[in-house]
Amino acid sequence: MENNSVQEKITELLENRKFSDLRKLLEDINSTDLSLLLNDLSVENMVLTFRLLSKDQAAETFSYMEPELQEKLILSLTDKELKEVVDELFMDDTVDLIEEMPSNVVKRILRTIPSQERQIVNEFLKYPSDSARKYYDK
């Protein structure tokens, strides 16, 4: 199936609220292609579709998304959902994400990361050791 027909199928399944069928369809799409497909959906449909992915598939797909799309998604996710995504990311993907996001989004991401991991993130980012703590405490 080419991307246009897959995108149309996703949109159709969303419109008809056939979420279990959509979940099955999404399982067979690789994460790189999914990140491209999500980019072409409305924000509402992107979020709905993303929420249907397994934790592993969601994290992998998220890591392939363009920063602008990641930001839109982060702003649409609950804190719990964001934590689940960030928890599944590899540390280097988390660091890359933080480097690409505006400060208000970074603050939200950092709040989801346990303090020991924030210290590691700071080391990767070469931030002062207490900088993520400052974001977290606000």
Domain boundaries, the chain: 1-72, 90-138
Q: Report pLDDT for 9.
A: 92
Task: Report the pLDDT value the prediction gives residue 65, as an integer from 0 to 100.
Answer: 94
- Per-residue pLDDT at 122: 81
How many whole angstroms separate alpha carbon 138 and alpha carbon 78? 18
Helix (H) or strand (E) holding 132: helix 131-137
Q: What is the pLDDT of residue 132?
A: 53
Check: CB of residue 38 under 8 Å from CB of residue 50: yes
E strand residue ranges, 1-138: none
Q: Structure tokens of 132?
A: 């993520």
How much is the pTM? 0.79
Nearest to 134 by CA among 110, 98, 99, 105: 110
Per-residue pLDDT of the chain in tens (138 residues, 90 and over written 9): 566 788 889 999 999 999 999 999 999 999 999 999 999 899 999 999 999 999 889 999 999 999 999 999 999 999 999 999 999 888 888 998 999 899 889 989 999 998 888 888 888 887 555 555 455 444
pLDDT of residue 137: 46
Determine the pLDDT at residue 123: 83
Residue 132's φ and ψ, nearest 5 degrees, are: -65, -35
